[in-house]
């Protein structure tokens, strides 16, 4: 075993508190890159808005006031910081609640598709043979559909609801996880530690769960961050087409869709949700890019990575 | 000659030719008017749609018996030169066709056989959406080459409203030779002033003037194109960029963009389209009249007209409004359903339906600010105790389901209501159409009676009795009639009609 694969702690013996601090700073170093800090800040902001939206929203996001429609942003001086929409709802409150929906959709879609994709990929790669063939055929069939069209078809057929929207987005999003996990599992199944476990009488389930899956998580984490951005964009696209969540649930995509009717006369209706989508997706992508730099072994070897 | 001189000479020659062409082309250029429309036909079959604009398009291609002329306030013959009712038997109508009308492309003359065939096709074509318009007709006969006798099942005073620009006269010989599909797609030849040049379903319909046609005047545009543009912003931008010359249904908040423009004018017209909230009694819980009444009391129509429609609508106190046949302001006052939240709450409580979950289906972009209007209704319905949700299905799906009677609660419009008889027979008479599925013996009796009453004053009275009976049961809450705004390019002269049909004969390019 070469020194480079040993954990940091194994290579440098601990001699006191200063060394601990040095190790901590060294370990933290790669995470302090600008793209991770900026991206992480946007993601944290999204999480904050999503989690605390009922507390920080000045108004009920669905409360209408027909006597106060299409009011421009009042900023600090006015009643409505970012103005009101065509039925007099407060745009800032809807943005906060929209963040909640984006967050719920992004996390749920990534978790479900990650679990399904990694599990199927691990099974496919570990068992190989007929099981691998069957799973990969399923992957090819599902992958053949254009993603947005498939989601539109599902929502159009089953109707609008948050659960159906999540299902529509998950249907294809597990595939990248599955493909990457399968490739890695194919390689891992012939490694010595897997043979050792097998010779000690470990069951297939235990080998997959204890020895294979932990080695697939880093790649899944990187795919997951990019998939979050893509799930948010897809939700916004479906909501923009009127096929997202039901109209009474505020989402950035539906706000953008409503705002387009007034884009030349009341710009604030479309601008603010549009900016939210832009910065959230930018932030998640920057964070994902930074995490890939840390975890991707190829980048580590070529020296472009930071790990 | 040197090469440089040759090149220069060729350049000058080309420039001279191009200049000459440019000078000549305005004289020879064809005039084209493009209309940005919100609705479209869904098939090549001229009997296959029941939409206001579609009737106008097909009537200009195939030809129809006649239409209502808003200038004179009376019916005007088109393919039919004149008509009469038998003095002894009010069931017998005779239509005299114009002689010498030549069909597009092959010049075949219109005969009564084509008219009889068209009535038969409207009744029997599986794709036909016109059965309700010919349901009062018992028999159609060709008396001679140019005379058609239509016999009704019962005396039907408003027969012309049912038939005139809704019965498209299609060719019997082409149908017999090719069948409906080929005849409609490959040989859409008729006797109207325009030939059908191209249809891209859901996108555009292009008509080309038939110069030799009787109704094709020189001032009419040579080409009339209907482009589907559901987004109001798209229509306005296209108009201001000169991509289209007529933009239908400009929402009030975009009116100022056109008013300020150098290229276009804003032209208002009052619509004869009734906007309503339909509650189909054949679906539970909408079979409960108390629930339906509660809903009608919940909607604050004045607030919606003021805030969402910016005053560009006239509230309907009765099922119809001023200017429509049979409107009686005194009777309307009695039929008015007041906005009254307390009453709505009490009625809902009486019906035992507090907290009931209901789904309001709305079109998006089909009518002026339709989604915004229905969004504003949701808190109003919640205020009386309903757990109301809005559904925004895609228009084609919603419309198909409404026509099949599958949607229990929806916001919709009924266009072309000049004489209300066909519209009310379609929506509120038993088996009129599946759209609402309302059935009431009294309403049926009154609607049948008004159709059988030929004296105008007596008929208006019966019509109002029918309206009162409908309002009593509230299968629909009558909302308003839009004041429609059209954007029209300054080089085009056109006065929009209240029916929403766009007639090439009324358009001229300056």
Query: DSSP string covering B59-112, please?
Result: HHHT-BSEEEETTTTEEEESSEEEEEE-SS-TTEEEEEEPSS-B-TTT-PBP-H
Q: What is the mean pLDDT of residues A261-287?
A: 92
CATH value at residue A229? 1.10.3720.10
Alpha carbons B481 and B107: distance in angstroms, whole number: 43
Closest by CA to A59, choosing from A39, A42, A82, is A82
What's the CATH code, domain B274-481? 3.10.105.10
Alpha carbons B139 and B159: distance in angstroms, whole number: 14
pLDDT for the residue numbered A26: 76
Residue B66 has pLDDT above 90, yes or no: yes
- Chain B nearest C-alpha distance from A64 (Å): 7
The partner residue sitting opposite A265, judged by closest CB among B254, B307, B376, is: B254
Q: Domain range holding A215?
A: 33-306
CB contact under 8 A, B379 and A248: no
> Cβ of A60 under 8 Å from any chain B Cβ?
no
CB contact under 8 A, A264 and B233: yes
pLDDT for the residue numbered B26: 47
Task: Supply the mean pLDDT for chain A.
Answer: 86
Q: Which residues of B touch A62 (CB under 8 A)?
A: 379
- Chain A nearest C-alpha distance from B92 (Å): 49
Residue of A nearest to B254 (CA): A265
Cβ pair B93, B140 in contact under 8 A: no
The partner residue sitting opposite A248, judged by closest CB among B308, B371, B378, is: B378
Give phi and psi for B267, each to the nearest 5.
Answer: -120, 115
The winner for highest mean pLDDT among A27-31, B4-8, B23-27 is A27-31
Q: What is the mean pLDDT of residues B96-104?
A: 96
What's the CATH code, domain B62-178? 3.90.76.10
Provide the CB-side half-sphere exposure for B161 (13 A, CA). Answer: 21
- Chain B nearest C-alpha distance from A247 (Å): 6
Choice between B371 and A16, residue whose per-residue pLDDT is larger: B371
CB contact under 8 A, A248 and B389: yes
Cβ pair B486, B236 in contact under 8 A: no
- Chain B nearest C-alpha distance from A87 (Å): 6
The partner residue sitting opposite A261, judged by closest CB among B233, B389, B394, is: B233
Residue B278 has pLDDT above 80, yes or no: yes
Cβ pair A170, A234 in contact under 8 A: no
Give bridge partners of residue B198 from the DSSP assignment.
Answer: B206
| Strands (DSSP E) found in B362-408 | 387-391
Closest by CA to B96, choosing from B83, B85, B86, is B83
CB contact under 8 A, A156 and B394: yes
DSSP string, A269-305: HHHHHHHHHHHHHHHHHHHHHHHHHHH-HHHHHHT-S
Q: What is the mean pLDDT of residues B223-246?
A: 94
Residue B97 has pLDDT above 60, yes or no: yes
- Chain B nearest C-alpha distance from A148 (Å): 16
Q: Could you tell me the pLDDT band of residue A233, with boundaries at 50, 70 and 90?
A: confident
* Residues 123-142 (A) with a CB less than 8 A from some CB of B: none
> Cβ of B302 under 8 Å from any chain A Cβ?
no
Q: Which residues of A touch B253 (CB under 8 A)?
A: 70, 262, 265-266
Picking from B252, B299, B376 by the largest number of A CB atoms within 10 A of its own CB, the best residue to mutate is: B376
Cβ pair A238, B209 in contact under 8 A: no
Q: Can you name the CATH fold of B14-24+31-40+202-270+484-509?
A: D-Maltodextrin-Binding Protein; domain 2 (3.40.190)
Q: What is the mean pLDDT of residues B303-322?
A: 94
Q: Where are the domains of chain B?
A: 14-24+31-40+202-270+484-509, 62-178, 274-481
Cβ pair B393, A152 in contact under 8 A: no
pLDDT tens digits for range A19-67:
888 887 777 777 788 889 999 999 999 999 999 999 999 999 999 999 9
Q: How many domains does chain A have?
A: 1
Closest by CA to B369, choosing from B476, B268, B254, B259, is B254
- Angle between the N-to-C axes of helices A91-127 and A252-260, in degrees from 0 to 180, rounded to the nearest 10: 130
Q: Could you tell me the pLDDT band of residue B357, with boundaries at 50, 70 and 90?
A: very high
> Cβ of A70 under 8 Å from any chain B Cβ?
yes
pLDDT for the residue numbered B333: 94
Task: Supply the mean pLDDT for chain B.
Answer: 92
pLDDT tens digits for range B406-439:
999 999 999 889 899 999 999 999 998 999 999 9
CB contact under 8 A, B397 and A248: no
Residues 6+ apart with CB under 8 A from B371: A247, A258, B362, B363, B364, B365, B392
Closest by CA to B379, choosing from B344, B352, B422, is B344
**Residue A120 lies inside a defined structural domain of this protein:** yes
pLDDT for the residue numbered B12: 60
Q: Which residues of B touch A69 (CB under 8 A)?
A: 307-308
The partner residue sitting opposite A242, judged by closest CB among B253, B307, B392, is: B392
pLDDT for the residue numbered B5: 59
- Classified as helix, coil or strand, B404 is coil
> Cβ of B394 under 8 Å from any chain A Cβ?
yes
pLDDT for the residue numbered B103: 96
Closest by CA to B162, choosing from B455, B447, B458, is B447
Radius of gyration for the alpha carbons in chain B, expressed in angstroms and rounded: 25
The verdict on ipTM greater than 0.85 is no
Q: Which residues of B touch A63 (CB under 8 A)?
A: 379
């Amino acid at each position: 075993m070469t020194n480079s694969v040993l954990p940091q702690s194994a290579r440098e013996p601990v001699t006191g508190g200063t060394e601990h601090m040095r190790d901590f700073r060294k370990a933290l170093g790669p995470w302090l890159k600008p793209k991770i800090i900026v991206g992480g800040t946007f993601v944290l902001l999204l999480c904050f808005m999503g989690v605390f939206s009922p507390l920080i929203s000045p108004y009920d996001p669905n409360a209408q006031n027909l006597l106060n429609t299409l009011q421009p942003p009042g900023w600090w001086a006015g009643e409505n910081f970012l103005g009101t929409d065509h039925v007099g709802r407060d745009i800032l409150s809807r943005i906060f609640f929209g963040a909640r929906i984006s967050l719920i959709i992004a996390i749920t879609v990534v978790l479900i598709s990650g679990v399904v994709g990694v599990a199927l990929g691990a099974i496919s790669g570990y068992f190989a043979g007929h099981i691998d063939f069957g799973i990969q055929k399923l992957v090819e069939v599902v992958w053949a559909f254009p993603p947005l069209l498939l989601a539109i078809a599902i929502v159009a057929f089953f109707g609008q609801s948050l659960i159906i929207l999540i299902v529509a987005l998950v249907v294809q999003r597990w595939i990248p996880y599955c493909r990457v996990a399968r490739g890695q599992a194919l390689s891992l199944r012939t490694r010595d530690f897997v043979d050792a476990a097998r010779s000690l009488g470990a069951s297939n389930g235990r080998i997959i769960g204890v020895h294979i899956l932990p080695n697939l998580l880093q790649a899944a984490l990187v795919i997951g961050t990019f998939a979050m951005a893509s799930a948010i964009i897809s939700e916004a696209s479906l909501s923009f087409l009127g096929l997202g969540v039901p109209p009474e649930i505020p989402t950035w995509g539906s706000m953008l869709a409503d705002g387009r009717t007034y884009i030349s006369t009341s710009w604030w209706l479309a601008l603010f949700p549009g900016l939210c989508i832009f910065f959230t997706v930018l932030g998640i992508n920057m964070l994902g890019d930074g995490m890939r730099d840390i975890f991707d072994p190829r980048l580590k070897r070529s020296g472009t990575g930071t790990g | 000659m040197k090469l440089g001189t040759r090149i220069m000479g060729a350049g000058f020659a080309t420039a001279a030719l191009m200049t000459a062409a440019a000078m000549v082309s305005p004289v020879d250029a064809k005039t084209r008017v493009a209309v940005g429309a919100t609705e479209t036909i869904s098939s090549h079959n001229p009997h296959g749609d029941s939409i206001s604009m579609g009737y106008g398009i097909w009537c200009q291609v195939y030809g129809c018996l006649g239409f209502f002329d808003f200038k004179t306030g009376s019916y005007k013959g088109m393919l039919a030169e004149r008509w009469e009712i038998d003095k002894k038997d009010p069931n017998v109508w005779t239509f005299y066709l114009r002689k010498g009308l030549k069909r597009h492309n092959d010049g075949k003359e219109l005969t009564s056989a084509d008219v009889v065939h068209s009535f038969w096709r409207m009744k029997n074509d599986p794709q036909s959406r016109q059965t309700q318009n010919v349901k009062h007709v018992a028999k159609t006969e060709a008396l001679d080459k140019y005379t058609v006798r239509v016999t009704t099942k019962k005396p039907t005073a408003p027969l012309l409203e049912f038939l005139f620009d809704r019965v498209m006269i299609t060719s019997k010989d082409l149908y017999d030779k090719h069948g409906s599909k080929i005849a409609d797609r490959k040989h859409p030849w008729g006797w109207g002033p325009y030939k059908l040049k191209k249809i891209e379903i859901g996108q555009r319909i292009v008509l080309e003037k038939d110069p030799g046609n009787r109704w094709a005047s020189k001032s009419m545009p040579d080409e009339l194109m209907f482009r589907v543009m559901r987004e109001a912003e798209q229509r306005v931008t296209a108009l201001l960029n000169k991509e289209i010359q007529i933009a239908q249904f400009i929402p009030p908040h975009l009116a100022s963009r056109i008013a300020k423009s150098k290229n276009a004018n804003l032209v208002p017209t009052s619509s004869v389209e009734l906007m309503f909230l339909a509650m189909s009694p054949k679906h539970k819980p909408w079979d409960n009249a108390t629930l339906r009444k509660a809903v009608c009391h919940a909607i604050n129509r004045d607030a919606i007209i003021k805030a969402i429609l910016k005053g560009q609508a006239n509230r309907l106190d009765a099922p119809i409004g001023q200017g429509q046949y049979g409107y009686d302001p005194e009777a309307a006052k009695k039929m008015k359903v007041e906005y009254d939240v307390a009453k709505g709450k009490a009625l809902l409580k009486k019906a035992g339906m507090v907290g009931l979950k209901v789904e309001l289906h709305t079109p998006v972009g089909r009518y002026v600010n339709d989604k915004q209007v229905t969004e504003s209704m949701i808190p109003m319905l919640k205020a009386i105790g309903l757990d109301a949700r809005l559904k925004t299905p895609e228009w084609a799906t919603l419309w198909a389901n409404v026509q099949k009677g599958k949607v229990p609660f929806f916001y919709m419009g009924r266009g072309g209501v000049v004489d209300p008889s066909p519209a009310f027979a379609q929506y509120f008479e038993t088996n009129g159409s599946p759209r609402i599925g309302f059935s009431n013996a009294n309403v049926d009796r009154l609607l049948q009676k008004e159709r059988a009453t030929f004296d105008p004053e007596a008929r208006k009275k019966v019509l109002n009795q029918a309206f009162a009976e409908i309002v009593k049961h509230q299968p629909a809450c009558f909302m308003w009639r839009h004041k429609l705004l059209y954007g029209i390019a300054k080089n085009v002269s056109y006065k929009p009609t209240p029916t929403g049909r766009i007639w090439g004969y009324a358009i001229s390019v300056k």
